[in-house]
Amino acid sequence: MRSERHGSPSQPWTKPNGCRLLDLSPDEWIAIRLSLRIAVVATLVALPFGVAMAWLLARKSFWGKTLLNGLVHLPLVLPPVVTGYLLLISFGRRGLLGAFLADHLGIVLSFRWTGAALACGIMGFPLMVRPIRLAIEAIDARLEEAAATLGANRIWVFLTVTLPLALPGLIAGVVLCFAKALGEFGATITFVANIPGETQTISAAIYTFTQVPNGDAAAGRLVLVAIAISLAALIAAEWLSRRAGMRFHGE
């Protein structure tokens, strides 16, 4: 019944061997793959901006810094629906930015998975910036001075001293952003709706299954998958930052 509604359920590439393990339907696999793709893209695209923003907030003082800091953290405290709606009116086809991107660059975000990635990236951004900023603030700026006296210009100081020393915070920021992006629901569904195969992530699929009769089993399977992915990300982050931390304190 679901597959009739959601269309094209039987493409061969949607059926990896793992299907049997949890007995996931092709639709569920599509939602999982889509969620992972959206979360990975959102995190990777947000990363350079997050690092730059964290560095700016940690190391520079300028007019309007408090306001900028507030703006970065706004998605954390605003109702996600509000963030999604703001994205819709600015990045929608008729929105100011959306029209520009569509007409001049051919990029359409509304009701596309790329739009979901944008929404997830913005929602995850404050969670990414914060640990990186704290890590940069904790670095002894005198080490950066020492690097400068040894001939390193600002970019090399950042790449060879600041960034490696902030690595544990960077890992934490990446994982938090990824986890947020994976589970984001409100802003995404408001901005790009809930289109199977295009914008229906694990969260949206679970929500859909809870709204239809006999959807409990499918929702339950996706819940297990969501728990597994989140746990794996947390364990990987713990392991990576312990390794990174070890490098600084000893052999």
Contacting positions for other proteins (CB under 8 A): 140, 142-143, 145-153, 156, 160-161, 164-165, 247-251
Q: Which is nearer to other proteins, 23 or 145 (CB)?
A: 145
Q: Which is nearer to other proteins, 147 or 219 (CB)?
A: 147
Q: Which is nearer to other proteins, 143 or 224 (CB)?
A: 143
Least separation in angstroms between CB 143 and other proteins = 6
Q: Which is nearer to other proteins, 94 or 154 (CB)?
A: 154
From the list 184, 180, 173, the residue with the least C-alpha distance to 237 is: 173
The dihedral formed by the CA atoms of 41, 186, 180 and 54, expressed in degrees to the nearest 10: 80
Q: What is 86-139 written as a DSSP string?
A: HHHHHHSTTSHHHHHIIIII----TTSHHHHHHHHHHHHHHHHHHHHHHHHHHS
Q: Which two tokens stand for residue 176?
A: 């938090």
Least separation in angstroms between CB 251 and other proteins = 6
The whole-angstrom separation of Cα 242 and Cα 73 is 27
* Residue 129: burial class (beta carbons within 10 Å; 0-12, 13-18, 19+): buried
Least separation in angstroms between CB 145 and other proteins = 6
From the list 135, 116, 101, 130, the residue with the least C-alpha distance to 183 is: 116
Q: Which is nearer to other proteins, 158 or 209 (CB)?
A: 158
Cα-flanking dihedrals φ and ψ of residue 77, to 5°? -105, -25
180 close to 162: Cβ distance less than 8 angstroms: no
Q: Which is nearer to other proteins, 103 or 140 (CB)?
A: 140
Least separation in angstroms between CB 157 and other proteins = 8
Least separation in angstroms between CB 138 and other proteins = 12
Least separation in angstroms between CB 161 and other proteins = 6
